A and B are shown apart, each in its own frame.
Chain A
Amino acid sequence: TSSSSSVCNDSNEKAALIDRLIDSNMIRFMLLISRQGKTRLAKWYVPFTQKEKNRILREIVAMVLARPRKLCNFLEWRDFKIVYKRYASLYFITCTDNADNELITLEIIHHFVEILDKYFGNVCELDLIFNFHQAYYILDEILISGELQETSKKSVLRVCGAQDSIVEDEEFSGKNKRQPSIRDYF
C-alpha cells in the first residue's frame, strides 16, 4: 500500500492518523475477471509493482472463482475485504477496507455495470474485451482515487458522450491543431 513519510510539522499522533487516512475507506482496486480467470480490466488505486499485482491477482482470482454460488459476496483477504459480484461470465472484484459498508460497495459495482450497460447497449463480455479502453474511460468517470465521484448515471454518460464526440470529430476531420475553443457539446 502506498505509504508516505509523515508530514514533518505534525506530531506523532497526527502522523499516525494520516498514515491511516492514506488508504482509508476506499476501493483499493477493481478487477474484471472472466470465468476462466482472464483479466478484462484491472484498475489499481494503490501503487503496486507488476510482480505484486500478478501475485495479488492470482490469489484473489483463485479465491473468488472457487467460491460456490449461494454464499455471500464478501471475502476476507489479508487485512482487507473483497467484495465481488458475478454478472453472466464476468466477475467484478473490488477490494475495500475492513470497516467499510460492504453492501454499498456491492452497489457501486452494480452502478458501474448499469452504466456500462447503458453505454454499450446490453453490454456483454465481448464488448469489454474489445473496448477495454472505453471501459477504463467510463470507470475514470465513476471512481476517482477509489471513491465514488458521480452517483448520477446521466452525468457520467453525458461526459463520456462528449468525449467520444470530440474523438470522432477529430478522427473524421483529421485535425491536428490544438483547438483554443471548442464547440460545447452539452
Chain B
Amino acid sequence: MAANANMSKDFFELVKSIGESKSKQEEDKIIAREMHVLKVKMAAKVVHSRKMKEYLIRMIYVEMLGHDAAFGYIHAIKMTHSGTLAERRVGYMCCGLCLHQDHELMLLLVGGLQTDLQSDNHLEAATALIVVSKLTSRDTIPAILPLIIKLLDHPQANVRKKAVMAIQRFYRLDPSCVESIVEKIKRILCDKNPSVMGASLYLIGDMIGTDASVFKDLVPSFVSILKQITEHRLPRDYDYHRLPAPWIQIKLLQILHQLGNADKNASEGMYEVLHEVMRRADIGISIGYATIYECVRTVTSIYPNSTLLEEAAKCTSRFITSENHNLKYIGINALASIVQVDPRYAAEHQLIVIECLEDSDETLRRKTLDLLFRMTNPQNVTVIVGKLHAFLKSSVDVYLRTELVSKIIQLAERYAPDNAWYIQTMNEVFEVGGDLVRPEVVHNVLRMIAEGAAEEDSDEDNIGQYAVDTYVELLDKPVLPDVMLRVISWVLGEFGHKSKAWTPWDISQRLFGVIERPHEETSDVRSWAITAVMKLSHLHNHIGEVCSVVERYRTSVSSDLQQRTHEFLELVKDIRTMKAVLPADSFTEELDIDSNLGFLDEYVATASDHGAKLYEEQGFDDADMLLVAEKPIAVTPYPKWDQTRVAMTDELEVPTETYSARMHHKNPAAASSSSSEFSAGNLASVDGPWGRKQPAAASNDFHQPKSTSDPSLHSQNQVSAPYQIPESPQPQRNRVDSAASVDSVDDSPVMKKRPTKREQMLSGMFA
C-alpha cells in the first residue's frame, strides 16, 4: 500500500526482528531497546511531525505486544493538534488505542475534538467521532453532546452514522442525554442512507431495553423496514452473500423481540414479516442460519403463535441434526428457547441431546447442560440432576462449577420429588462444591428441612429423622466442607431427639468430634456445633461432660464462641430455664419478642424504689449542640508556636538549646533541672502507661535503660535521658491544661518522656 512507503527502515527492521525472534526474552530485549530509542527521540526538542508520526506508530506496536509505553501518550495528544489531517489521524488513532475514558490526559483532547467536530472537512469530523466514541466519559459528555447532535444533520452519511453511534455510546454512560432528541432519533430511522438507519437501530435497541413504551408505536415502521429489506429494496451494496442487509435484519429482529415481549397487539403485527424473513433466509449459508436463529429467538419470546413455533421447531431440528458443530450449538441454544415456551418439542430430540452431552466438544456439552436445565420437570429431575452432578465432579473450571452448583440447587428446591432425595442431593452438592455455595442457600436448606419436619405427624418417612440419621453417618468422614458441618450441626441439634437409631448422647459425642476438629479461627462452625450440643444437653444425663467440653472454649478468641459458652454455662445451673430457652422441636414456632422489655418493668420499679437512678438517654443534648454550633470545624490553621504563647503560662520556659546540645549533657544537673521543669509543666498531668514513678534516684535509674534487649545501646548511651520526674508534680498540674498544646510536641526539641528504645538509639547516635 502506498501509505507504507512512508515508514522508515527502522520500522521494518523492528517488525522483522520481532518476527524472527526465537524467544520471549529476545523479543523483550528488542522491545526494551525500541522503547528506549522512542523515548529519546520523542523527547527531543524538535521533532519533525512526519518522524513523530512514525514514532507513534512504533509506539502502538510496542503497546500491542503488551508493553507499557506511557511516555508517548502526551506526544500522541500533541499530534492531534497538528497541522495535517494525516498526522491528526495518527494522533487520534494512538489516543484511541492507548488511552481510556478515565485517563487523566483525556481532558487535553476535548478541545481538539471540539474543533474537529465542527470542521468543514467531513473526514476530520469522522475521525474525531471515532475517538469520541471510544474516549468520552460521563463528565465530558456535556462538552461534546451538543456538537454531536448538530452532526446528526450533516450532509455526509458517514458522519451522521458515526454521530448516531457516538450517541449510543453516550446513552450507555448517561441515559438522560437523549431526553431532548427522542423525536430526532425516531426520524433518523427514516434516513435515506441505509447505513445511518442501521446505525440508529443500535441506539434505539438500547432505548427500548430501558423503556419499551416510547417506541411501541413504531412497531409498524420496523415491520415495514424489515419487509422492504427482505424484498431486496436496498442498494446491492448491502447484500452480503446474496442475503440483503442481514445485520440490519437481525438488529430489527432483536428490536421486535423486545417490543413484542408479552404484548399481544404488537406481536400480531409481526407474525407475517417473521414468516417471510425465516423463509427467505433459508438459503443454506451461514449468515442465513444466523438470521433464522435470530428469528427463532424472536418467535419464542413474543406472544406465541403456533404456526411460527412449528416453523421454528422445524428449523431447530435441522440445526441440531446437522453435522456442522456450529449449527449443532446454535440448535441446542434454539431448542433451549423453544422448550421454555412449549416443552413438547424437547421430546423429539432426546436422543440427539443425549449424544451432545457426550460430545467431544466441551462447549457443546456445557450448552447441552444448559438445555437440560431448562427442560427439567418433576419427571426427569432426578436424571438431570444426576447428570449435572456428574459434570460437577469432573470439572475444574471455577465458573462452570459455580454455575452448576447454583443450577443443581435451584432444581432441587423446585422439583424435589421427595424429601429424602432432596437431602441426598444437597449433601452431595455440599460435599463436592461446598465452597461455591452461597450462604443463603444453607438457610434455605435448613428451612426446608424444618418445615418438612414440622408438617409430618407420622414417624415414618420423617424427614427430620432421616436427616439426622444420614448426617450422623456422614460425620464419620474425616473431612467435610464447612457448609456441610454447619448444616449437620444445626439439624442434629434441632432434631437429634427424633432419631430412633441414635441417642442424644451418641449424637452429642459425635458433635464433640466436630467441635474438636481443627477449624480456622474465623470459622463459625464450632459455634454452630456448640449450640447444637447445648440444645441436646438436657436430653441426656451427661451434662457434666458437656460442660467440661464447653469450658474449654470459654476463653476462645472468637467472641461469638465465648458468648455462647458463657450463656450455656449459666443456663446449665437451672435446667428449667434451659428447657424453656432451648425447647425441642419448636423451630417453626413464632417467637414473641417484646422489644420494650416489658417483663423487666417490675424489676426496674423495685430497683428504683430502692434508690437506683433511672436511665437517662445519652443523646445529643442542647449543651453539645451549642458547642458544635459555636465552634465549628476550624478551617484556619492553628498559629505556629512562638514566644508569645509563653505569656499564657509564665512558668514555662522555651528551651533554646538545640537537641544535640541537650544530648551533650555537660552539665547534667543544670540541664535536667531546667528541662525537668519544662517537661514537667507540659506533661506532669499525663498519667501515661509509663506511670508516675518515684522521683528519688531518678537520674541514676535512667542512665541505664530498663530494657536490655539491645546491648548495642548500652555502649553508646553514655548520656542519660533528660527526662526527670519532678519533685512535686501536684502544684504544677493546673497550669498544664492551657499550655499542653499540640505545637509543643513537634516544635520543641526537648525529650519529654521516658525515652523509648528508638529515642535511646537516636540519642546514642547524637552522643
Measured CB to CB, the residues of A under 8 A from B are 2, 4, 7, 9-10, 14, 17-18, 21-22, 24-25, 38-39, 41-43, 45, 47, 50, 53-54, 57, 70-76, 78-79, 101-104, 106-108, 110-111, 119-120, 129-134, 136-137, 140, 144-145, 147-155, 159, 162-164, 166-168, 170-171, 175-182
Residues of B within 8 A of A76 (CB): 363, 366, 399-400
Are A103 and B293 touching (Cβ within 8 A)?
Answer: yes
CB distance from B197 to the nearest CB of A (A): 11
B233 to chain A, nearest CB (A): 15
Contact of B168 among A53, A119, A145 (CB under 8 A): A145
A104-B247, A106-B326 known; A166+B86 contact, CB < 8 A: yes
**B199, CB-defined interface residue at 8 Å:** yes
B interface residues, Cβ below 8 angstroms from A:
1-4, 6, 12, 15, 18-19, 49-50, 57, 60-61, 63-68, 83-86, 89-90, 93, 96-97, 100-102, 120-121, 123, 126-127, 130, 133-134, 137-138, 157-158, 161-162, 165-166, 168-169, 172-176, 194-195, 198-199, 202, 205-206, 209-210, 235, 237-238, 240, 245-248, 250, 286-287, 289-290, 293-294, 297, 325-326, 328-330, 360-361, 363-364, 366, 399-400
**CB-based closest 7 A-B pairs:** A103-B290, A47-B100, A72-B325, A167-B86, A152-B237, A71-B361, A144-B165
A72-B326, A140-B93, A147-B202 provided; 19 other pairs, C-beta below 8 A? Answer: A18-B172, A24-B206, A72-B328, A101-B250, A101-B293, A102-B329, A104-B290, A110-B286, A111-B240, A130-B12, A131-B4, A132-B61, A145-B169, A149-B161, A152-B195, A167-B3, A168-B2, A168-B3, A180-B120
28 residue pairs bridging A and B, Cβ less than 8 Å apart? A4-B173, A7-B174, A25-B205, A50-B63, A50-B66, A53-B66, A71-B360, A76-B399, A101-B293, A102-B326, A107-B240, A120-B1, A140-B130, A144-B165, A144-B169, A145-B134, A145-B168, A147-B165, A150-B195, A151-B195, A155-B237, A163-B127, A167-B89, A168-B2, A170-B84, A170-B85, A180-B120, A181-B120
**Are A164 and B195 within 8 A (Cβ)?**
no
Give the residue of A104, A137, A147 whose beta carbon is less than 8 angstroms from that of B250. Answer: A104
CB contacts (< 8 Å) of A4 on chain B: these are 137-138, 173
Which B residue sits closest to A34, measured CB to CB? B19
Contact A21 B101 (CB under 8 A): no
In the complex, A21→B57 CA distance in Å?
33
Chain A residues closer than 8 Å to B57, beta-carbon distance? 133
**Given A144-B133, A144-B162, A145-B168: A151 touches B85 (CB 8 Å cut-off):** no
Q: Evaluate contact between A182 and B123: CB separation under 8 angstroms.
A: yes
A147 to B57, CA, bound (A): 25
B101–A2 contact, CB under 8 A?
yes
Residue pair B83, A104 in contact (C-beta under 8 Å) = no
Give the distance in Å from the alpha carbon of A150 to the alpha carbon of B137 in the complex. Answer: 24
Partner pick for A151 among B90, B162, B238, CB 8 A cutoff: B238
Asked if B86 and A72 sit within 8 Å, CB to CB, the answer is no
Which of B65, B101, B173, B364 is in CB contact (< 8 Å) with A72?
B364
Q: By the criterion CB–CB under 8 Å, are A21 and B206 in contact?
A: yes
With a cutoff of 8 Å between Cβ atoms, the chain A residues found around residue B172 in the complex are 18, 21-22
Residues of B contacting A73 with CB < 8 Å? Answer: 325-326
Are A137 and B12 in contact, with the CB atoms below 8 A?
Answer: no
Taken together as a complex, chains A and B put the C-alpha atoms of A39 and B67 apart, in Å, by 12
Chain A's closest residue to B124 (CB) is: A182
* Neighbouring B residues of A152 by C-beta, 8 Å: 194-195, 235, 237-238
A79 to B402, CA, bound (A): 11
Contact yes or no, B360 A130, CB < 8 A: no
Which one of B93, B199, B210 contacts A136 once the chains associate, using CB atoms below 8 Å? B93
In the complex formed, the residue of A with least CB distance to B138 is A4
Q: How far is the CB of A149 from chain B (nearest CB, A)?
A: 5
Min CB gap B79→A, angstroms:
13
Chain B's closest residue to A5 (CB) is B138
Cβ of A71 and Cβ of B290 under 8 Å apart?
A: no
Task: Check A176–B93 contact: CB distance below 8 A.
Answer: no
A154 touches B237 (CB 8 A): yes
Complex: A60 Cα to B636 Cα, angstroms? 56
Residues of A near B245 (CB, < 8 A) are: 151
Known contacts A21-B210, A107-B290, A39 near B93 by CB under 8 Å: no
Taking the closest CB of chain B, its distance from the CB of A28, in whole angstroms, is 13
Query: How close is A117's CB to chain B, nearest CB, in angstroms?
Result: 13
Q: Are B93 and A133 touching (Cβ within 8 A)?
A: yes
Whole-angstrom distance between the Cβ of A139 and the nearest chain B Cβ: 10
Would A129 and B1 be within 8 Å (CB), given that A72-B361, A103-B326, A144-B162 are in contact? Answer: no
Bound together, the chains give a CA A71 to CA B100 distance in angstroms of 36
- CB-CB under 8 A from A182, the residues of chain B are 85, 121, 123
B258 to chain A, nearest CB (A): 11
Closest residue on chain B to residue A182 by CB atoms: B121
B4 and A163 contacting across the interface, CB-CB below 8 Å = no
CB-based contact A134/B3 at 8 Å: yes
